[in-house]
Structure 1
Amino acid sequence: MVTVEGDGVAASGTVRGPQDPHRAARRAPHRAAPQAAHRAIPRAPHRALVSPALWRGAAHLAGDTVAGLVGLALLLVLALGIMLLPVALIGLPVMVAAGWALDRFAAAERVRYAATCALGIPAQPRPSLSRSPFRSVRALATARCTWRQLGYCVAVVPLSLVTSVSVALAWAVPLTLLPLPLYYARLGSGHAVIWPFTVASLDSALLVSALALLAGVFVSPLLVRALLTVDTALARTLLAPPRDLELTQRVEELTESRAQLVAAVEAERRRIERDLHDGAQQRLVAVSMALGRAVSRLRKSGDDSTRQIVEQARADAREAITELRNLARGLHPPVLTDRGLGAALSAVAARAPVPVTVDVRVEPRPSAAVEAVAYFVVTEALTNVAKHAQADRAWVEIRRSGDRLTVTIGDDGRGGADPDGGSGLAGLAARVAGVDGRLNVTSPPGGPTLIKVDMQCG
């Protein structure tokens, strides 16, 4: 994020970095939609009956009975702990145990949904328990996940009764009535009573058997699908983290990964700078010295034509050394690593064609990545001042307050800098944005120009 000095209209704006809508859409925090288990059941009857998803769903619904009983037991234990609170606070450890068991029950339910419904439900953050029962109960009572898990227990008790009974009837009734023509006459009364109908003949028994077959083929799969829809909706609502919490966690993960990427890039820049300084630059220095010795011998021998060629090669080597030194300094100046921002920027100010006042107070030192960003913002800004501002003086002020680093660069030039004018601004904007930075440029016509950068350095 750096100012571009030059002719143009007055500008005052904030630059966060180059915007790419497609990249922003990819990087935006999102919630991965869990697979809808009921949709895995085919709608066609002949395919639904042979689908493993239908029978896994039916088994899952039948297993809701166990979940309902466990949920009821946890509610009773929790109620017992609350009732025992007045009795010498005996209820505190009971409530802590119930809260821990509630979290374990929710984790087991997520595993069950993943195994039987192929439904991936993200885990909720666990409240931190301590040795103090008071603190543990307080942590449980203030945790949103505890109340969501408690709500799941309250809801799963009646729901499990409905789902388990319904899925049992959905298959038991058709399977019981399908062979009715074979056994209705052998009943004690000689007929079967299916309220409000009485089956006393083969024709009526065949009719009931046909209806049972149709119900088993068409109705039962639909009933399982509907019950599974309600069951999984409850789990997704109460066993998964709240949407705002998940978005917050996603943002934290992206922020951390971005900081790691910036640090890795900066470490790679330092490595390249060391390789250039200790490798290629030292070899060129050795070549230049060898060429100098060759020039001395050629001067003594009187071979002027060869000496001129060698002198030109030596001059080229010196020029290459200077270019490599400037390149290494542009990647990451060693003084920045060794002595910090104050010394590095003082060296930059000493080389600037415009008098520059530098005031740096950053104790404790920020991270290497933040220091590098601040250094390159200042150097690019001072370069633009020298090229375009026609200023008599410039100043740099850097302050650290808590976990924020503020960089201010100003000059008394002609102003009119345009933040949208380019000239390296987009690259610096991306670099500042990588450390949660923001750039603000104020440059009215006639000056002065003021650049303020605020960055996260905690």
Structure 2
Amino acid sequence: MTTASGTAQPARRPHRGLYRELYRGPVAPDLWRAGAHLATDGLAALAGLAVLLTLVLGICLLPVALTGLPVVLLAGRALHLLAAAERARHAATGGPELPAPPLPALSASAPLRSARALATDRGTRRQAGYFLALLPLSVLTNGGAVLAWALPLTLTALPAYWSRLPDGHAVLGPLTVDSTGTALLVALAAALTGFFLAPPAVRSLRALDTALARTLLAPPRDQQLTRRVEELTESRAQLVRAVEEERRRIERDLHDGAQQRLVALSMTLGRAVSRLRKSGDDDTRQIVEQARADARAAIAELRDLARGLHPPVLTDRGLEAALSAVAARSPVPVRLDVRAEPRPPAAVESVAYFVVSEALTNVAKHARARNAWVEIRRAGDRLTVTIGDDGRGGADPAGGSGLSGLAGRVAAVDGRLRVTSPAGGPTLIEVDVQCG
């Protein structure tokens, strides 16, 4: 193989990566994290067993004037806390980030209702099943990990102690070790076996442990989907409330401010037209009448904006035409590149429009930028919006700059907003929205 400069380079061999992975096996950080996780399986299993026994004790005491009810509630709460600790243990030792199931409603003021919620909660039953299954699994994982390392290490040290054994030799199945040469061969074979087989054995045991956690510690798929739907429903409800509040504010501001001034201007121009008609100055009258017509058109446009929260051109001609007007009004030069065919749904177009409008407003107010750019692309059922500027950077979504509101607006249509704004710039706002 030759490089662009013409110098020959040795060809890469695929098996080198495999060998390198095998050689680094015993010293790989993930292997030691897996070993630490397996070593603590027994402690987690014993803690879970203690909580489950307490829960059973409380259930057995329920017939005795409900004296076991507080024990049941405390044990149920402890079970959920212990399951949360297990999810944290898996994440801390290189395992998956497991989502937590929703907690049942437990209240000291309504113990019977809390006990019923605990008994009918799927997450509680699954977590109890996890700790029941973890007890025998911990015996397998702890024993397997010990054998995977201890047996090769013990045999590797065989040359140092074989002659001190009671019989003066060691018997390993059909093999009898009665000389230093034989002991060295056994030690070499044990070292190689441990080097190549112990790491995958430990990783396999960790994978088995992780599979159990994925199955019983995480909420089931249908529950995750239900929670996702609830989150989306709530975010959309928040958006509807925010839009309604914004619409009312805009209508009030326009009605009490700009609209009233335009109405007063139209009336003044009307009186001027009447006087010019009496004076016979037709040329000036036509100019004033045109100004009055423009004022009326501006009043109508403001009313449409207040009612619809977006300009009519967005509905009529799409994102490119609407954003061209926004870019033209921006005090910072804006390069606009819109390729969004076929047109996205109206809700997605509205979100993209207001994200760009608010972002360019922030650029003009805070960025001290010389240039800004907007790129919009549609690929399949995804619409991506990128707004950038060459300003001072340091934009913080939590700093009250309006970015948090944009994030909420994007989340309402199941989209994602990411802000990259290091000190000194440039600032990039990236939005990814599904059009389907």
Give the TM-score normalised by the residue count of structure 1: 0.59
Q: Which amino acid aligns with 1:322?
A: R
Q: 1:168 to 1:43 in 2, by over 3 A?
A: farther
Does the 8 A contact of 2:163 with 2:169 survive in 1?
yes
Report the secondary structure of 1:113's partner residue: helix
Tell me the equivalent position of 1:189. 167
CA distance in 2, matches of 1:171, 1:90: 49
Query: What SS does structure 2 have at the residue aligned with 1:193?
Result: strand
Of 62, 67, 84, the match for 1:85: 62
Query: Structure 1 260/53 Cα, relative in aligned 2: closer, same or farther at 3 Å?
Result: same
Residue aligning to 1:13: none
State the partner residue of 2:91. 114
Q: Deviations over 1:107-148 (max 9, x none)?
A: 000010010024100011111112233222211100001100
* 1:319–1:270 Cα change, 3 Å: farther
Deviations 1:6-42 (A, max 9, x none): xxxxxxxxxxxxxxxxxxxxxxxxxxxxxxxxxxx99
State which of 305, 322, 325 in structure 1 corresponds to 2:296. 322
1:300-324 deviation digits (Å, cap 9, x = unpaired): 8x5x44xx34433432333233323
Which residue pairs with 1:18 in the alignment?
none
Kindly indicate whether residue 196 of structure 2 is the aligned counterpart of residue 218 of structure 1.
yes
Distance 1:121 1:427, change over 3 A: closer
Q: Tell me the distance in 2 between the aligned counterparts of 1:249 and 1:428.
A: 23
Q: Once the 2 structures are TM-superposed, how far is the Cα of residue 282 of structure 1 from its aligned partner?
A: 3.1
SS in 1 for 2:24: helix
Please tell me whether Structure 1 or Structure 2 has the larger radius of gyration of its CA atoms: 1
Report if the CA contact (8 A) 1:127-1:143 is conserved.
yes
Give the Cα separation in 2 of the matches to 1:245 and 1:100: 20
Which has the bigger relative contact order, CA under 8 A and spacing at least 6? 1
Answer yes or no: is 1:59 the counterpart of 2:36. Answer: yes
Structure-2 change in CA distance of 1:276 and 1:93 (3 Å) = closer
Provide the residue aligned with 1:387 in structure 2. Answer: none
Determine the structure 1 residue equivalent to 2:182: 204
The answer on whether the counterparts of 2:156 and 2:190 sit within 8 Å (CA) in structure 1 is: yes
Q: 1:124 aligns with which of 101, 108, 115?
A: 101
Report the CA distance between 1:180 and its aligned residue. Answer: 1.4
Rounded to whole Å, the distance in 1 between the matches of 2:273 and 2:19 is 88
1:148 pairs with 2:122: no
Using a 3 Å threshold, how does the CA distance of structure 1 residues 88 and 331 change in structure 2: closer, same or farther? Answer: same
Of 18, 27, 31, the match for 1:50: 27
CA deviations over 1:342-392 (Å, ceiling 9, x no partner): xxxxxxxxxxxxxxxxxxxxxxxxxxx9xx9xxxxxxxxxxxxxxxxxxxx
Partner SS state of residue 27, structure 2: coil
Distance 1:435 1:107, change over 3 A: closer
Find 2:224's aligned residue among 246, 257, 260: 246
Q: Secondary structure of the equivalent of 2:171?
A: strand
- Matching residue's letter, 1:314: V
Deviation at 1:251, TM superposition (A): 1.0
Taking a change above 3 Å as real, the CA distance of residues 90 and 275 of structure 1, as seen in their structure-2 partners, is closer
Q: What amino acid maps onto 1:121 in structure 2?
A: L
User: Any idea what SS the aligned residue of 1:49 has?
Assistant: helix
Cα distance in 1 for residues equivalent to 2:177 and 2:51:
47
- Where in structure 2 are there 5+ consecutive unaligned residues? 1-17, 310-342, 351-410, 414-436
* Pair 58,325 (structure 1): closer, same or farther in 2 beyond 3 Å: same
Distance 1:275 1:92, change over 3 A: closer
The Cα shift of 1:172 comes to 1.4
Q: Tell me, in whole angstroms, the C-alpha distance in 2 between the residues paired with 1:148 and 1:42.
A: 41
Q: Does residue 74 of the first structure (1) align with residue 51 of the second (2)?
A: yes
Q: Deviations over 1:402-437 (max 9, x none)?
A: xxxxxxxxxxxxxxxxxxxxxx9x759999xx999x
Aligned-pair distance for 1:155? 0.2
Aligned residues: 305
Q: Is the 2:83–2:217 Cα contact (8 Å) retained in structure 1?
A: yes
* Contact persistence 2:273–2:289 (CA under 8 A): no
CA deviations over 1:43-90 (Å, ceiling 9, x no partner): 932122221001100110111010111122122212222322333332
Q: Is the 8 A contact 1:77 1:98 kept in 2?
A: yes
Matched, 1:285 2:263: yes
Q: Tell me if the contact between 2:148 and 2:194 (Cα under 8 Å) persists in the aligned partners.
A: yes
CA RMSD of aligned residues (A): 3.6
Q: Is the 8 A contact 2:34 2:94 kept in 1?
A: yes
Does the aligned pair in 1 maintain the 2:269–2:289 contact within 8 Å? no
Residue in 2 aligned with 1:417?
A: none
Q: Mean alpha-carbon deviation: is it higher for 204-213 or for 254-263?
A: 254-263
What displacement does 1:273 show?
A: 3.7
State the SS of the aligned residue for 1:198. strand
Deviations 1:285-340 (A, max 9, x none): 3434554565677678x5x44xx34433432333233323333443445xxxxxxx
Q: 1:317 to 1:269 in 2, by over 3 A?
A: farther
- Post-superposition offset of 1:236: 0.6
Q: SS at the partner of 1:117?
A: coil
Offset at residue 152 of structure 1 (A): 0.4
C-alpha contact 1:284 1:317 (8 A) present in aligned 2:
no
Note if contact 1:149-1:238 (Cα within 8 Å) is conserved in structure 2. yes
Q: 1:73 to 1:299 in 2, by over 3 A?
A: closer
In structure 2, the residue matched to 1:7 is none
Residue 152 of structure 1 aligns to which amino acid in structure 2? Y
Q: Deviation per CA, 1:158-178, whole angstroms, max 9, x where unpaired?
A: 001110111112111122221
Q: Distance in 1 between matches of 2:293 and 2:103?
A: 62
Segments of structure 1 that go 5 or more residues without pairing to the other structure are 1-40, 334-368, 373-423, 437-458
